[in-house]
Each structure stands twice: as C-alpha cells, then as structure tokens.
Chains A and B, each alone.
Chain A
Amino acid sequence: MVDINLKKKEGKRNYLVFRESEINGNEGGDALMSLFWIVIRQLAEIEATMATSKKVITREEWEKKLNDVMIRKEDMNKLVMNFLVTEGYVDAAEKFRMESGTEPDIDLATITDRMAVKKAVQCGNVEDAIEKVNDLNPEILDTNPQLFFHLQQQRLIELIRNGKVEEALEFAQEELAPRGEENQSFLEELEKTVALLAFEDVSNCPVGDLLDISQRLKTASEVNAAILTSQSHEKDPKLPSLLKMLIWAQSQLDEKAAYPRINDLSTATLEDPAV
C-alpha cells in the first residue's frame, strides 16, 4: 500500500490527477513529477547540442529517462499534503498524516474553521460566514476592503435571489453604497448587482451570471484565500502550478523534439510520438 492510494477512498471531485491516474496513484503522481523534470532536462540538453532538426525520442528511451529520475517520496507526500490542506480536505489530511507520517504545515484545526466559512458562503449564508471570519481573525475583513465588499455583495445577491426586494434595496443603500463612494470599481460592481432588481426574468438578463452558483464559489474561494494568507499559508495549492509548468515544458519541447507526450492530464498516459 502506498500513501497516495489513500485518495481512492477519500477522494472527491477535485483530485483530478491522482484519483483517476492509471494503474495506481503512485505511478501516476510519480510519472507527473518525473516527466516534468525530464522535460526540463531534455530541453536543456537539446538546446545545448543545438539540434537543428527535430529529435525523435522513443517510448523506451523516454521511460528509461523517467525511471532514472529520483524523486524523494517525502517531497511527493508534502505536495499531496499541501494540496489537501490548501483545499481544505481536513479528514483526508488527517488520515494522510497518519498513514504517511507527513506533518501538515498548518494546524489542522484551523482548516475546520476555514472550511466552515467557505461552506457558509457556498450555501448562501454569507452573514454567518462574515461572523465566522471575524471570530477567526477580525483583522481579515478590516484590512481587506475588496473581500469585504465582495462578501457584502454576495449577501445582496442572496437577498435578491430570495426575492427580498425591499430588504435588498435597503441593504444596498445602507451597507454597500458607502463602499461604492470609497472606491470607483466597487461602485461599478454595485451598479451591476442592483441591476438584477430591474429585470423580471433574471435568468435572461445581462447580469444574470451573478446569480450563478459560480459567483458563490468565486466569493468562497476569495475568502478561503484571504484566511490562508492571514495564516501565513499560500493561497493556492502547488499541484496545479506544477501542472501548468508541465504543459509549458511540453510546449517548449514540442518545438524541438517528438517524444511520448502526455495529452490527457487526467490519465497522465504517455502517448507514442508521431514520427
């Protein structure tokens, strides 16, 4: 049993790479990392030899190179832990800690609080979320006007969604308009939000997307990031940026060589080079 397999039991939708990676999680994850380093190295190598024509690398060569790359398991585990902690999978993180012995870089208890806030926003209980954030650390909303505005805006959106027109108007005037006075871009966002009230059929109105669930998710992730920052933690997990780097590295390599490429990141399968 390797550590990463854990996600097969616990995994939720977000585990795009690991849960669905072929054969087993370990190989998939390792492949990802090794591939990244290989691509980088290969790139340097090719550039060094100043190859004029496209070099072709066979699957055997490539896999051999992959196998040659040594990646410390602890590093891989840290990467996973970082993902779990940042995304707030507290149970998974706890189990992963027990199984792999990897210590999270943050008090796991704080994750619960953070997740409660995030969840409250996702469910539309914005007022509750605000109170929770203020209990956690009053500085967060006091020093982050943009986040504060977005939470209040979300509150307004929820009122409109629930058809509480009068309350919504009063709230907009009392809470949001003063923010708009302080900041031009807030005023514009506010105007857009209030415009929701002008349409009978909001699903067809030009600002209807504010009522989308994606707007809640956006706000929730903004709060999540702010809390993480206040806890001196990166607001984004490292894994997605590694994936971005992989894509970039492959595109760089594409110009110089034909090699077994990963085309589908969710499976991380090496595909034979077209010769």
Chain B
Amino acid sequence: MPTATSTTATATNTSTTATSGILHRLFSTDQDVKLKALRQLKNQIIGNRTKKLSFLKLGAVPSVAAILAEAVLADDGDRNNSFNKNVIVQSAAVLGSFACGFDAGVQAVLAAGAFPDLLRLLSNLDEKVVDAGARSVKMIYQSKLAPKYDFLQEKNMEFLLSLLNSESETVSGLGASIITHSCKTSVEQKILFDAGVLKKLSSLLEGSLSQKDSSLESLATIFKDNPEVVLKFVGSESGRALSSIIELVKDKFARTRLLASLCLIVIRNTSPCYLQDIAVKTKLVNTLLELLGDPGQVGDEASFALSSLIVQKEDMQKLAFENNAIDKLYCHLQKDSLNPRRFEGILLALADMCSKLECCRSRFLSSQVLNSVVDAVAHDSADVRSAACICFKSVARSIQNLSAGSFLTEAVVIPLVRVLDDPSTSVQVAALGVISNIVVDFTARRSIFIKCGGVKQLVQLSKSMDAAIRLNALWALRNLMFQAESKCKEGVFMELTASLLASLICDPEPFVQEQALALVRNLVDGCISSVEYVFAEDGIILDAVGRQLQSALKAEIGIQGMYVLSNVATGEEFHKEAVLNQLIPHAETGSQAYIIKFLQSNDSRLRTAAVWTVVNLTNSLSPGAVDRLEILRGAGIVSQINNMQNDPCLDVKLRVKTALGQFKTLDTCLSHTFLWRLPLAGYITLLSFFFAIKAV
C-alpha cells in the first residue's frame, strides 16, 4: 500500500491529461460531444473533492457557467428543445456539485456569474430543469459564501413564499435553505414571522423527509434568541406545531430526530419557560445519546447538540447523568478511529457534563476515561487537543480530587506542559485552563509541576503578546501560589522577577491586572517572611499595587489589591508603615484617599477587603498603631468606618466592629506620647494590664 502522500502526487499527474481532455471537449462545436463532456465532468467530480479542486484550478467553472448561460438564452428562444434542456440540467448539476460542501467551488460559481442564471431556472416550465436549478442554488445557499438574501425587499419575500409553496420538494427545500442561510437578525426573524413563513414551515413538518428536515432547520433559525417569535409560535394553533416538532424527535430518520432536537433546544434556550415537561426533556436527552451511535454526520453533530442542551444548566446535566450520559459518551470515546469532529464533540459534551456536578465528575473519574482524555491532549487535530483540555479542565474542578492530589502526576503534567508550546492559541489557552485548576493541589505535589518545567513555561507565557495567554498563564501561577510552600514561592518568584510582576500589575488588560494582584496576594500570605517579596527592588511591586489601586477600573482589581495591602499589613512595623504610605495620598496632591472610595463601594467584597486593611493597620498590639490611627483619622478614614456600623453586609459590619473596637482601645487605654516615653518594662506591664481588662 503506497503512503497517502505519494498517491496524491501521482493522482494529480495522471488525472491532468484526462482532466484537460474533458475541458477541451466542453468547447466542442459538436453538441453531442459537449453534452457527453458535461456528463462526464459531472460524474468525475460528484463526491470527489480532489477532482473538484483540480478541475477548479483548470478553470472548469467559468466554462460550464458559459455553457449554462448560452443554453438558458437558447431556451428562451426555443422552449421545446429537449436536447438544450438536457444541457441546462447537466451544467446546473455540474455547478451544483462544485458548490456542494466546497467553499472554493461556491466562490468560483459565484465569481463566474452563474448564480442569476441558476435562479432563472426556477421559473422554467420543465420540471427537471427547475429541479436541477433548485438543487444547485440550494447547494450554494448551504455555504456561508452565498450572497445574503434580503428579506426586507417585498419582491424577495414574495419569491421566497412562492418557493416554499412549491409542489417540488427540492424547490420548497431551497426556500427553507435560504432562510437558514440568510436569516440573522431579530428584524428578519420578525418579518418572516409576519409574512406567515412559520405557518408554511409548520405545514412542511407534515411533508416528506427532506421537507421536514429543511423546515426544522429554518424554524430553528427563525427562533434563535427571539423569545417574541417563539412565544407566538408556541401559542399558535394551541401549540400544535410545537407538538409536531416534539413528535419528530421520535422520527424514524436519524437526521430528522437530530434536527427536531436542535429545534427544541433552540426554543428552550431562547425561552427557558417552555419545554419544562420532564418527559420531553428526558426524550431529548435520550434521543441525542442514542444519536451518538449514528456512524455519519448525524452522530458527529449529536454530541454538539447535547452540549447546547446541557451547557450551564445544572438540571439538564443532572437529567443527562441519570440517563447514563457519562457512560454512553465514554463508550463512544473508546471507539477506534474516531474522526476529529466526532472526537471533539464527545470531549466537549463530557466537559459540559462535568462542569457543575460532582456526581458527574466522580462517575467520569471512576471510569478510565481520563487516560483517553490525557492521550487526546497530544492528538493531531488542534480542535481535539483543545477539546481534551477543556474536558479535563471541567473535571479538574472537583475539589475533592484536588484535595486528594489525584491530578498532579507526571503522566498528566508532561503532556500538558508540552502543549503549552502549541502552535494554536486556543489549545494553549485551554491547556493553561487545566493547569490553573490542577495546580490547586492540597497535597505536596506541586513540585512535580515545577520539576516538569511548568513554571518556566508559565512565566514565559505571562510575557505573551496575546492577552488571553497572559491572563491564563497568570491565573495558573496565581493558583499555584495559593497556600504554596516557601520553597515553591521562592522558585516562582525568582523566575518571575519583581520587575515583571510589577509590569503585569500595570498590564493594559484589567483581567490581567486582577490575576497579577491575586498572585501577589497569595505570594505574601503564609509564612511571615514572604511579605518581603513586595519590597524587592526598592518596593517596585508595592508601588505598582498602589498605583493600580489608585486607578482601579473594576471591583475585582480593588479587592485583590486591597488584600495584597491587607496581607502586607500583617507583617512588621516597617511593612505596616509602607502600606500606610500607599494608602494615604501625599499632602501636595490634596486628593481623597482611594480607600475611602472602596469603603463606600457598592461591592461588599471590596468594602470588606478595605476594612480588613484598616483592621490590620490598627492592630492594638503593634507599637506604631496609635500613630497610624492618627494618620488614618486625618485622612477621614476613621470617620468613614464609623459611618459603616450598620453596613447591610454582615461581614463588613462585623469587621467594622472589630476596627472600632481597636480604635477605642488605642484611644482610651494608651495615649500617644505616654506610650513612647515608657521604658520597655513599663510597656509590658501596661500591655498585660490591657489584656487583663480585655479578658474581663
């Protein structure tokens, strides 16, 4: 068996002569030779992508388009010339085949100006000609490249209705295809509804197989994200049309079942109040699960449909779980030689299944499916690699397994670190997503990740030009730093450097800023000495935090930034003073301290973070607290806190209470000058006295 690549080379060579022979004969003056050549060309290209491409390159499309144009003209002159009609049918079929599932072909047919001629065929009196024309136009409309049909023009709408009303299946199918292709906006959806198209499409639901299918597709297009149209449709004829779609979910044809399911999913996702009947929901889930077994395109698409049914919907995920969705998806994943599209779909459906429910994740993990998913991370197709990462990411949300350290093994980490170099950005981002999750490891296994070179890669990616990659790389580093050991922190910090961190805190992208701040927050938590990190290189990081808080664009930045300060403020006197310096604006600017703005924020999480910082700065046990309190008071922060005693958020209220308690202690028990003039022994006595009071 020759290898695939070498065969193509020979194939093109040998076929070139035959190919040009046919093309040559297309221009023959002998009409019989010409017609024969057309048929031959048709039979060569149907089903054969390679042939389509080579004929396309040789300029076959404009030639056939010219033959069609000529024949159409001739037909106008002599309507009874059956030979000429046959030329029309054959050339339309050739053009249709070029356009079938082949965008370059569509482009060529459109460029050759054949589209208007094909459209004209629809009004021909000969049934065969109409059929051939409709088929070819339909092929074009199944491509994104087809010209947009303007429903807003009255004559276009009339024409569309005439297509839908046609006796011919191909023609009415074409009408439906046009809708599926061109109806995009809610205005267009509304106009189609008002023109009575829905009624017509509903009646096609009772028609033949192809009519049902194309009607279902168009209906879904008209419903999509348009609750108004859905409402009117569901309400019309007391829901008869809706019930016939529901009925079609049980149709004997797999494709019809899929399309009916997709149509119902669109209705459900557009107007969640409909189709809440458990029997319908179960039927949908089971139909899609069963369609996964279809060997063709329907089976490929079934998993994507399942995803759209369950995505973000816990109730549907639960229902699917109860109907063994995990096992069934796994079973299909196990099959040999899955095509990439199918593989991708199954992985993404598994990802959606495992996105919320722990029961799904544990079912997933109890089968051996994770191994297949990890293998798929190295698949040839980028879509599959990315889907495998997304699937793994979803499963790795299992906190129970993170706690058990189930994910951080060399077998898992090595392939993941490898795809961090992937040429496809979406694969890189997805891989960073998995890593972000699995490094939240509560056992001491993070070293495996570091040993596999993961940190070096993450730091490298945090310098990427692509904001999504920077964001996700930082996200992973931030999670890696959560409760990390000192040694791990040290390694990461050395790799990252203070100046890079400072520049990431000031990244143009707010989401990146947030992750950078959260990373620093985690870095300075834990062992007390880790506070020093923000003071490296003359406090470049702390300055950056202060600067960013000054101009914080979103609450999350304020929250993470305040917690950085709050954590630093649990350190030594020197650290507390540095935080205070960041909080209090310099006299010359005369501006209000940003912390006041945070204390007044609508976001209770931000208020909490800000109050914690004040609490830490005024901790009664530290000697400089009295002075700091005075400075805070001078900046209006104390009175702001005083105003928050009845904060609607319990957490804020309780933290305010703590702060006020500390203020009081500092004010009443110790006077500022008194404290500093005491000898050490007296200081200690005083403190014990203070504790005694507190204890009472």
Interface residues of A (CB under 8 A from B): 130-131, 134, 137-139, 141-146, 148, 170, 172-175, 177-178, 180-185, 187-188, 190-191, 194-195, 229-230, 232-234
Choose from A138, A173, A229 the contact partner of B253 (Cβ within 8 Å).
A229
Complex CA distance for A139 and B210, rounded to whole angstroms: 12
Tell me if B11 and A173 are in contact (CB < 8 A). Answer: yes
- Closest beta carbon of chain B to A24's beta carbon, Å: 32
Tell me if A143 and B101 are in contact (CB < 8 A). Answer: yes
- Closest beta carbon of chain B to A231's beta carbon, Å: 8
Interface residues of B in 617-646 (CB under 8 A from A): none
Contacts of A230 in B (CB 8 A): 210
In the complex, whether B209 has a CB less than 8 A from a CB of chain A is yes
Contacts of A174 in B (CB 8 A): 7, 10-11, 14-15
Interface residues of B in 1-49 (CB under 8 A from A): 1-2, 4, 7-8, 10-11, 14-15, 39, 42-43, 46-49
Contacts of B244 in A (CB 8 A): none
Closest residue of chain B to A191, judged by CB?
B1
- Closest beta carbon of chain A to B229's beta carbon, Å: 28
Choose from A173, A188, A234 the contact partner of B337 (Cβ within 8 Å).
A188
- Closest beta carbon of chain B to A131's beta carbon, Å: 5
Contacts of B97 in A (CB 8 A): 138, 142
Interface residues of B (CB under 8 A from A): 1-2, 4, 7-8, 10-11, 14-15, 39, 42-43, 46-50, 93, 96-97, 100-101, 135, 139, 169, 208-211, 252-253, 295-296, 337, 339
Complex CA distance for A141 and B295, rounded to whole angstroms: 16
Tell me if A194 and B1 are in contact (CB < 8 A). Answer: yes
10 pairs, CB–CB < 8 Å, chain A vs chain B: A134-B42, A138-B97, A142-B100, A148-B46, A148-B47, A173-B10, A174-B10, A177-B7, A178-B48, A232-B211
Tell me if A134 and B2 are in contact (CB < 8 A). Answer: no
Given known A134-B42, A232-B169, contact A139–B8 (CB-CB < 8 A)? no
- Closest beta carbon of chain B to A159's beta carbon, Å: 15
Tell me if A234 and B252 are in contact (CB < 8 A). Answer: yes
Contacts of A190 in B (CB 8 A): 1
Nearest 7 CB-CB pairings of A with B: A232-B209, A177-B7, A148-B47, A232-B208, A178-B50, A184-B337, A141-B47
Tell me if B4 and A187 are in contact (CB < 8 A). Answer: yes
- Closest beta carbon of chain B to A136's beta carbon, Å: 11
- Closest beta carbon of chain B to A220's beta carbon, Å: 17
Tell me if B339 and A183 are in contact (CB < 8 A). Answer: yes
Query: Could you list 4 further interchain pairs (A-B, Cβ under 8 angstroms) beyond the known A134-B93, A145-B47?
Result: A138-B96, A139-B100, A181-B4, A229-B253
Closest residue of chain A to B5, judged by CB?
A181
- Closest beta carbon of chain A to B213's beta carbon, Å: 9
Tell me if B2 and A177 are in contact (CB < 8 A). Answer: yes
Given known A131-B39, A174-B15, A184-B339, contact A138–B46 (CB-CB < 8 A)? yes
Choose from A131, A144, A148, A173 the contact partner of B7 (Cβ within 8 Å).
A173
Contacts of A139 in B (CB 8 A): 96, 100, 135, 139
Closest residue of chain A to B52, judged by CB?
A142
Choose from B43, B139, B208 the contact partner of A131 (Cβ within 8 Å).
B43
Contacts of B39 in A (CB 8 A): 131
Complex CA distance for A175 and B135, rounded to whole angstroms: 25
Contacts of B296 in A (CB 8 A): 146
Closest residue of chain B to A172, judged by CB?
B7
Contacts of A172 in B (CB 8 A): 7
Contacts of B8 in A (CB 8 A): 177-178, 181
Choose from B46, B49, B337 the contact partner of A178 (Cβ within 8 Å).
B49
Complex CA distance for A184 and B93, rounded to whole angstroms: 29
Complex CA distance for A134 and B97, rounded to whole angstroms: 10
Complex CA distance for A146 and B4, rounded to whole angstroms: 18
Contacts of B210 in A (CB 8 A): 230, 232
- Closest beta carbon of chain B to A179's beta carbon, Å: 8
Closest residue of chain A to B255, judged by CB?
A229
Contacts of B209 in A (CB 8 A): 229, 232-233
Closest residue of chain A to B100, judged by CB?
A142
- Closest beta carbon of chain B to A154's beta carbon, Å: 14
- Closest beta carbon of chain A to B135's beta carbon, Å: 6
Choose from A173, A175, A232 the contact partner of B2 (Cβ within 8 Å).
A173
Complex CA distance for A146 and B253, rounded to whole angstroms: 17
Complex CA distance for A195 and B339, rounded to whole angstroms: 24
